[in-house]
C-alpha cells in the first residue's frame, strides 16, 4: 500500500453540494458522526420532501445552488474558509431527456466548481456515475485510462461522462477524485420518486399488496430475477467517499460498489425476511422503452479503492437490507435521527 498523506477535514469549512439529496445527506450524517459540522450545504430544495433529510443534520449554513454559483463567480469572502468540496449536486434522473438542462446542471456547474477548487487548492471529490459505463461492454474498469471508449446509454450518463473527459484532458484527474457509485440504496432516498431503489419500492409494494414485482428477463443467459446488480448500502458509500477525500494520494476515478454481484431475487428475499413476511414474487413485463437500455450485469471492481487503503468491511446485503427496513423504513427515521 502506498504511503498516504492525510487531508484534514476538520480544518476549514466543507462544502457539500446536493447536501439535501440521498448520498449528499448521508455524507453530512457521516461527517457529523466524526464530530464535524463546519459544513455549508447547497442544493435545489424544490417541491419534494428532500428538506426532511436536513432536519436531523448539523451544519453551518444552507444556500441554494444558484446563489452559490453566483458567489463563486464573484469570489466572495463567504467561501474563503472552504478546504474540501464534496460535489454531489446533479440531476440524477437516468430518465431525464432534457439535454440542455443536464449539460447546465451536471457538466457546466461541475466544470466551474472543479476549476475554482483547483485554483484555490481545495480538495475536490465529485460524483461521476457508473452510468458512464453504459452496458458494460467496454468493461467497468476504473483503472483504464481510455475513457473515450465508454458508451453511456442515456443522457444522464453522458453528462457525467463529458465532465470525466474534460477533467482528463485538463489533467485535473491527477488532482481531484471522481467516484462512480453503483446501485446505492438506503435511508434518505425517500424523496426520489421513480429513482428510489428497488428496496424502497419493494417495501411499499409488500406493505400494500403482500407481494413484489420484478421484471422478467429478456436475455437468454439470465433467468427471471437472476439479473444481477452491485448493490451498495448508502452508509458504506458515504464512508468510502470520505475516505477518498481524506487520502491525499487518492486521485482519478474510483468505482464505489460492494464488489459483489447480487441477483434481484436475493435482494427481494432479503426484504421479505427483514419484514418477516412470506416470499411472494411476481415477474412482470419490462416496458419496451427500457429493453434496449437495460443492464443485466453490473459489478464494481473495487481493487483501486482497496489499494488506496480502504479497509472497512462492506455491509453484506442481508444485513444492510435488515438495517434499512427495520431501523428506517418501518420507523420513518432519517440518517442522523
Judged against a pLDDT cut of 50, whether residue 1 lies above it is answered with: no
Dihedral sign of CA atoms 333, 53, 198, 133 in order: negative
CATH number at residue 250: 3.40.50.720
Per the domain annotation, does 106 fall within a domain? yes
Backbone angles phi, psi at 231, to 5 degrees: -90, 130
2 or 114: whose pLDDT is higher? 114
Per the domain annotation, does 98 fall within a domain? yes
On average, the pLDDT of the chain sits at 93
Judged against a pLDDT cut of 90, whether residue 73 lies above it is answered with: no
Backbone angles phi, psi at 260, to 5 degrees: -125, 135
Query: Domain of 127?
Result: 13-184+231-257+298-314
Mean pLDDT of the 124-129 span: 96
Catalytic residue among 109, 126, 133, 156: 156
pTM of the full structure: 0.94
Q: Residue 156 catalytic?
A: yes
Judged against a pLDDT cut of 60, whether residue 89 lies above it is answered with: yes
Provide the number of structural domains found in the chain.
1
Per the domain annotation, does 191 fall within a domain? no
Query: Are 66 and 81 within 8 A, CB to CB?
Result: no
In this prediction, residue 4 carries a pLDDT of 60
Nearest to 163 by CA among 108, 121, 124: 108
Radius of gyration of the chain (CA): 19
Q: List Cβ neighbours of 14 (8 Å cut-off, separation of 6 or more).
A: 31, 36, 38, 39, 40, 82, 83, 84, 85, 86
Give pLDDT tens digits for 158-214. 999 999 999 999 999 999 999 999 999 999 999 988 889 999 999 999 999 999 999
Q: How far is CA 129 from CA 88, 274, 327, in A?
A: 11, 29, 28
Percent with pLDDT over 70 in the chain: 99
Tell me the HSE value of 81 on the side-chain side, using a 13 A CA sphere: 11
Per the domain annotation, does 210 fall within a domain? no
Per the domain annotation, does 206 fall within a domain? no
Query: Are 78 and 217 within 8 A, CB to CB?
Result: no
In this prediction, residue 3 carries a pLDDT of 52
Catalytic residue among 111, 192, 201, 273: 192
Per the domain annotation, does 265 fall within a domain? no
Per the domain annotation, does 1 fall within a domain? no
pLDDT-derived band at 97, boundaries 50, 70, 90 = confident
Give the pairing of strands 82-87 and 61-64: unpaired
Per the domain annotation, does 196 fall within a domain? no
In this prediction, residue 289 carries a pLDDT of 87
Query: Are 184 and 232 within 8 A, CB to CB?
Result: yes
Mean pLDDT of the 116-124 span: 95
Give pLDDT tens digits for 301-316. 999 999 999 999 999 9
Judged against a pLDDT cut of 90, whether residue 66 lies above it is answered with: no
Mean pLDDT of the 122-149 span: 92
108 or 71: whose pLDDT is higher? 108
In this prediction, residue 92 carries a pLDDT of 75
In this prediction, residue 170 carries a pLDDT of 96
Give pLDDT tens digits for 214-254. 999 999 999 999 999 999 999 999 999 999 999 999 999 99
pLDDT-derived band at 2, boundaries 50, 70, 90 = very low
Amino acid at each position: 500500500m502506498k504511503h498516504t498523506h492525510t487531508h484534514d477535514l476538520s480544518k476549514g469549512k466543507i462544502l457539500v453540494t446536493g447536501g439535501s439529496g440521498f448520498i449528499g445527506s448521508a455524507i453530512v450524517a457521516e461527517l457529523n458522526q466524526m464530530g464535524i459540522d463546519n459544513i455549508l450545504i447547497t442544493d435545489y430544495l424544490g417541491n419534494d420532501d428532500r428538506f426532511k433529510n436536513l432536519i436531523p443534520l448539523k451544519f453551518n449554513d444552507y444556500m441554494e445552488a444558484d446563489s452559490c454559483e453566483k458567489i463563486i463567480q464573484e469570489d466572495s469572502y463567504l467561501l474563503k474558509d472552504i478546504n474540501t468540496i464534496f460535489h454531489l449536486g446533479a440531476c440524477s434522473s437516468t430518465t431525464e431527456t432534457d439535454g440542455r438542462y443536464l449539460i447546465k446542471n451536471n457538466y457546466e456547474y461541475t466544470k466551474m466548481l472543479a476549476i475554482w477548487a483547483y485554483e484555490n487548492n481545495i480538495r475536490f471529490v465529485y460524483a461521476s456515475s457508473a452510468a458512464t459505463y453504459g452496458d458494460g461492454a467496454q468493461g467497468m474498469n476504473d483503472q483504464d485510462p481510455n475513457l473515450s471508449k465508454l458508451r453511456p446509454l442515456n443522457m444522464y450518463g453522458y453528462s457525467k461522462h463529458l465532465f470525466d473527459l474534460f477533467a482528463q484532458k485538463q489533467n485535473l484527474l491527477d488532482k481531484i477524485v471522481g467516484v462512480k457509485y453503483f446501485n446505492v440504496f438506503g435511508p434518505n432516498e425517500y424523496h426520489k420518486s421513480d429513482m428510489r431503489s428497488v428496496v424502497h419500492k419493494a417495501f411499499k409494494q409488500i406493505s400494500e399488496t403482500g407481494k413484489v414485482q420484478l421484471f422478467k428477463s429478456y436475455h437468454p443467459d439470465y433467468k427471471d430475477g437472476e439479473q444481477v446488480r452491485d448493490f451498495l448500502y448508502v452508509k458504506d458509500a458515504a464512508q468510502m467517499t470520505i475516505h477518498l477525500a481524506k487520502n491525499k494520494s487518492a486521485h482519478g476515478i474510483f468505482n464505489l460498489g460492494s464488489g459483489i454481484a447480487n441477483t434481484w431475487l436475493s435482494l427481494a428475499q432479503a426484504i421479505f425476511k427483514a419484514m418477516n413476511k412470506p416470499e411472494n414474487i411476481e415477474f412482470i413485463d419490462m416496458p419496451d422503452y427500457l429493453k434496449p437500455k437495460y443492464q443485466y450485469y453490473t459489478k464494481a471492481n473495487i481493487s483501486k479503492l482497496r489499494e488506496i487503503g480502504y479497509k472497512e468491511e462492506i455491509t453484506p446485503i442481508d444485513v444492510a437490507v435488515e438495517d434499512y427496513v427495520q431501523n428506517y423504513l418501518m420507523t420513518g427515521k432519517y440518517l442522523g435521527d
